[in-house]
């Protein structure tokens, strides 16, 4: 999926600053103020978005450290339960979003390199690999089409399963793509 927040925000900010803001009526003080605030807020979000996951991990680490220090004297069951849950979550949050996208890109590239030569294969293993690639593409494209369905490209958008159902795996148990 390439329509990611960083790219979309970059393009939106360029449009707002170079095309839309200069066209806002200078006499409309509220519109002038709010276009400035919109640009400022989106700039803040864009600059902080890449670090948001690391920020949350850092905060959770420090909170678990603090909770570890005060749980015994506090004697609170609720605090101990929250601490256990937080520590467990922190332990599972080892890979960052950037780690995930880097791994995805590497696998896409390696599979792509292998895919170019597959159509020339006439043996059973080659044909099976082509079949697997087409089936995997079908499943992935269902998710990508659902991701952007609100843009209005589909002639029958109602036929697409909800994205949440697809990525939770529920769709695979019910309907085939």
Partner 1 sequence: MTPNTIDKDRPTSDWMAELSRRFPVEREVDRVLRRKLEMRAGPPFSGAGLDRLVAGVEALIAARHKSPFSIVDPHWLTGGASKLQMAFTLEWTPPGGSPSRTKLVLRMEPAASVCETSRLREHQMLAMFEGVVPVPTAYWVDPAGEFLPYPALVYGFSEGVTKPSHSVSNVTGLGTNLGPDLRERLAPHFLSQLATIHSARVDAPGLTAFDRPDTPTRSAEWALNWWERVWEEDAGEDVPLMRLAAGWMRGNLPENDRLSIVHADFRTGNFLFDEKDARITAWLDWELAHIGDRHEDLAWTMSPAFGHYAEEGGAFLTCGLLPEADFLDRYEIASGLSVNHATLRFYRVLAAYKAIAIVLGAGFRNARNGKSHQDVLLVWLMGLAYPLLDELRSRLEEVI
Q: How far apart are CA 163 and CA 67, in angstroms?
A: 37
The span from the first CA to the last CA of the chain, in angstroms, equals 18
Per rule CB under 8 A, is residue 162 in the interface with partner 1?
no
Q: State the number of binding residues for partner 1 (CB under 8 A).
A: 39
Site string for partner 1, 141-160 (x = CB under 8 A): x--xx-xx--xxxxx-----
Per rule CB under 8 A, is residue 128 in the interface with partner 1?
no
* All residues at 6 or more sequence positions from 55 whose CB lies less than 8 Å from its CB, including other chains: 48
Per rule CB under 8 A, is residue 116 in the interface with partner 1?
yes
Per rule CB under 8 A, is residue 24 in the interface with partner 1?
no
Q: Of 9 and 87, which has the nearer Cβ to partner 1?
A: 9
Q: Where are the alpha helices (DSSP H) in the chain?
A: 5-15, 29-48, 52-74, 77-92, 97-115, 124-147, 163-168, 170-174
The contact set with partner 1 (CB under 8 A) reads: 2-3, 7-8, 10-12, 14-15, 104-105, 108-109, 111-120, 130, 133-134, 136-138, 141, 144-145, 147-148, 151-155
């Amino acid at each position: 999926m390439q329509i990611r927040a960083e790219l979309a925000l970059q393009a939106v900010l360029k449009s707002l600053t170079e095309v839309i803001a200069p066209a806002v009526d200078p006499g409309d003080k509220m519109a002038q103020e709010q276009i400035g605030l919109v640009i400022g807020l989106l700039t803040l979000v864009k600059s902080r978005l890449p670090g948001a996951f690391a920020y949350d991990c850092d905060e959770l680490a420090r909170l678990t450290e603090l909770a570890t220090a005060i749980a015994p004297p506090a004697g609170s069951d609720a605090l101990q339960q929250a601490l256990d849950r937080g520590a467990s979550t922190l332990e599972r949050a080892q890979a960052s979003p950037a780690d995930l996208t880097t791994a995805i890109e590497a696998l896409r590239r390696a599979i792509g390199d292998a895919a170019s030569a597959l159509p020339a294969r006439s043996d059973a293993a080659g044909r099976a690999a082509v079949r697997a690639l087409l089936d995997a593409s079908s499943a992935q494209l269902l998710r990508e089409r659902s991701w952007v369905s609100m843009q209005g490209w589909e002639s029958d958008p109602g036929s697409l399963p909800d994205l949440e159902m697809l990525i939770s795996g529920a769709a695979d148990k019910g309907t085939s793509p």
